[in-house]
Amino acid sequence: MAMKVILVEDESGIRLLLRKIIEQNPDFEVVGEADNLTDAVTLFKKTRAEVIFLDIEINGSSGLECAKIIADLEPKTKIIFATAHSEYMSNAFEVYAFDYLIKPFHMERVNQTLERIKALSNPVKNDELDKIVRYERGLDKLLVKGKESMSFIDIKDIILVQRENGSTVIYTKQDSFTTSVSLSEIETKLDPEQFLRSHKSYLINVSQIKKIEPYGRWTYIVTFKDLTMDALITMDKFEEIKKRFL
């Protein structure tokens, strides 16, 4: 199935150029366009596109703010900034952009980005065993309050905590728990030796890491031993984990 793409750009000529390049690749389908922040967010909620080409400035609004909103709804959305403003590259890093294209860009450069996305969606399987260091910190529990219930989660069973559709979701091997509590608040209740804030939208159990592989330009992807879901990790946090194992 083709990956869904939306184009957020206030210049119709640039949207047309991107559409023509993207539609030459059968693995991608442009499912919508927007020329302002409000319509872009609405379009994303409707289509749940996997890939977004996004300008830094959109009819007086900030593409960076648009990226933050979308990343909070779905952190793994591949956001590609396509802009004439090279000076915003460091800001794009802060919102974990997948890539940063400078206008005027060439067909070959866009295709390189699409090829990288395709490669990530079809990873090469590797049966190599990974070295894991486990941290045991007793039987402390995390209390998650619902409207009419309370869930007590063994902290040692938590594998991943992530932002998802504007809420925070805690994943164990067999269950998931949704709460309105912020990721930062949960982070303060967990042992920093066992749990790492790998990305603004993810908190991971280091002892559950199976593999870390390249993902975006400044980002890696983490897979776990006992969970089919994965998480993102920034370059600096990746280096931090490497130091733990040296």
The CATH code of the domain that includes 207 is 2.40.50.1020
Tell me, yes or no, whether 83 lies in a domain: yes
Contact 31, 49 (CB under 8 A): yes
pLDDT of residue 130: 28
Report the DSSP pairing between strands 230-234 and 219-224: antiparallel
pLDDT of residue 112: 87
Contact 232, 215 (CB under 8 A): yes
Same-domain status, 115 and 147: no
Say what the pTM is.
Answer: 0.58
Tell me, yes or no, whether 148 lies in a domain: yes
pLDDT of residue 96: 67
Tell me, yes or no, whether 134 lies in a domain: no
Four-residue CA torsion sign, 114, 116, 119, 120: negative
Tell me, yes or no, whether 193 lies in a domain: yes
Same-domain status, 117 and 171: no
3-state percent breakdown (helix, strand, coil) of the chain, nearest 5: 30, 35, 35
Same-domain status, 83 and 183: no
Same-domain status, 163 and 199: yes
**CA–CA dist 101, 84 (Å, integer):** 8
Same-domain status, 7 and 117: yes
Tell me, yes or no, whether 200 lies in a domain: yes
Same-domain status, 158 and 199: yes
Same-domain status, 47 and 91: yes
- Angstrom CA distances, 50 to 113, 149, 160, 181, 221, stand at 14, 34, 21, 26, 16
Same-domain status, 97 and 147: no
Q: Which of 121, 151, 168 is the last residue of a domain?
A: 121
Note the Cα 67 to chain centre separation in Å.
Answer: 11
pLDDT of residue 95: 64
pLDDT of residue 94: 62
Per-residue confidence of the chain (246 residues) as pLDDT tens digits? 899 999 999 889 999 999 999 999 999 999 999 999 999 999 999 999 999 999 888 888 888 889 889 988 888 899 998 877 666 566 666 666 788 888 887 888 898 889 888 877 764 443 332 222 222 334 478 887 766 677 888 888 999 999 988 888 999 998 988 888 888 888 988 888 899 999 989 999 999 999 999 887 788 999 999 999 999 999 889 999 888 877
The CATH code of the domain that includes 14 is 3.40.50.2300
pLDDT of residue 16: 92
Contact 174, 209 (CB under 8 A): no
Q: Outline where 6-103 has alpha helix (H).
A: 12-22, 37-47, 63-73, 89-94
pLDDT of residue 138: 42
Tell me, yes or no, whether 166 lies in a domain: yes
> How many domains would you assign to the chain?
2
Q: Which of 61, 87, 121 is the last residue of a domain?
A: 121
Same-domain status, 104 and 149: no
Tell me, yes or no, whether 126 lies in a domain: no
Same-domain status, 154 and 117: no
Taking CB atoms within 8 Å and a gap of at least 24, the contacts of 17-22 are 18/53, 18/82, 18/110, 21/107, 21/110, 21/111, 22/110, 22/114
Domain that holds residue 223: 141-244
Tell me, yes or no, whether 159 lies in a domain: yes
Residue 24 has which token pair? 């030459």
DSSP letter (8 states) at residue 213: E
Same-domain status, 192 and 156: yes
pLDDT of residue 3: 93
**Cβ neighbours of residue 185 under 8 Å, at least 6 residues apart?**
none
Same-domain status, 105 and 204: no
pLDDT of residue 87: 62
pLDDT of residue 122: 63
